[in-house]
Amino acid sequence: MSTVIDDFDREVQALLAASPLNPERIDVLIEDLIHQGFSHQRDFFSSALIDALLSDLERLEAHDALTSAGIGRRQEHQLASSVRGDAIRWLNRESPAQQVYLQRLDELREEINRALFIGLFEFEAHFARYPPGAFYKRHVDSFQGRANRVISTVTYLNRDWPIDGGGEMVLFESQQQGPDGFDPHAPIREMTRVHPEAGTLACFLSDTAPHEVLPTRLPRASIAGWFRRNASVNGVVDPAR
């Protein structure tokens, strides 16, 4: 057992050494969030980390460890193939790649807190695999006043994604939610499209940034994540999922 643990730790340390975050890119990300509410940068993560994460996802997929994604949380959770068609697996540090990715995102959380004083408490994330034809209709990730997801992230894992491969994420202009929540049919202006190329990181505000994933022509791999505030109730921490 100790040999297995030692090997795991060695892989973690090697991957950490090969995948440092760039402070200048973090500064750009924070400035983007301040001025426009979203940021996306190519090659934010190292090739070594991205390749390790994709291998991890492929291993999980080969072992049938992904589950069909749904919409809603807890008692309201339901499958809705007319809304989204991806399969997911929550990251839980079971592999060196997951361990390093979550550590790097925690470092990013600390930098955002240091700059913006917004009290981000934790980060949660899951792999997302979109088969050909799959999509995710326009939505927001957090309902105002009723959830603790603050900043959403998407990290892309597919190398050499063709220009006609589909699967882009479309970000729309910020939209304030009404008393009944976000209206997915309201006409709003497109702000940007994010090409799903390996190493790209996209970040945006969870409760005011409608977005969608366009139908993909090829198998599409990514990691969706959320920086969260602590929504404790009576001293009990709101579970991440």
For every residue of 18-85, DSSP letters joined together read: H----HHHHHHHHHHHHHHSEEEETT-S-HHHHHHHHHHHHHHHHTT--EE-EESSGGG-EE-TTTB-
Provide the domain limits for residue 164.
Answer: 2-228
What is the three-class DSSP state of 223?
A: strand
Q: Over the stretch 5-36, which tens digit does the pLDDT of each residue have? A: 789 999 999 999 999 999 999 999 999 999 99
Higher pLDDT, 185 or 90: 90
Residue labelled with tokens 């900043």 = 151
Residue 35: what pLDDT?
Answer: 95
Total residue length of the chain: 241
* pLDDT value, residue 69: 79
Q: Is residue 241 part of a domain?
A: no
- State the residue for tokens 């049938």: 64
Which of residues 165 and 71 earns the better pLDDT score?
165
Q: Say if 234 falls within a structural domain.
A: no
Asked whether the predicted pLDDT for residue 75 surpasses 50, the reply is no
Other CB atoms within 10 Å distance of the CB of residue 165: 18
With respect to residue 236, please indicate whether it lies within any of the assigned structural domains.
no
In a domain, 131, yes or no: yes
- The answer to the question of residue 148 being in a domain is yes
**Stretch among 61-75, 86-100, 106-120, 178-192 having the lowest mean pLDDT:** 178-192
Q: Lowest-confidence range among 86-100, 122-136, 226-240? A: 226-240
pLDDT score, position 103: 98
Q: What is the pTM of this model?
A: 0.88
| Residue linked to tokens 């983007």 | 32
Looking up tokens 């940021």 gives: 39
Q: Is residue 235 part of a domain?
A: no
Query: Comparing 77-81, 145-149, 152-156, which segment has the lowest mean pLDDT?
Result: 77-81
At 144 the pLDDT is 55
CATH number at residue 141: 2.60.120.620
Q: Say what the pLDDT of residue 188 is.
A: 82
Q: Which two tokens stand for residue 111?
A: 């930098």
- Does residue 167 belong to any structural domain of this protein? yes
* Six token digits for residue 187: 């006409």
Count of domains for the chain: 1
In a domain? residue 212: yes
Lowest mean pLDDT among 62-66, 173-177, 209-213: 173-177
Q: Please compute the mean of the pLDDT values over residues 171-178 and round it to a whole number.
A: 74
Percentage of the chain beyond pLDDT 90 is: 75
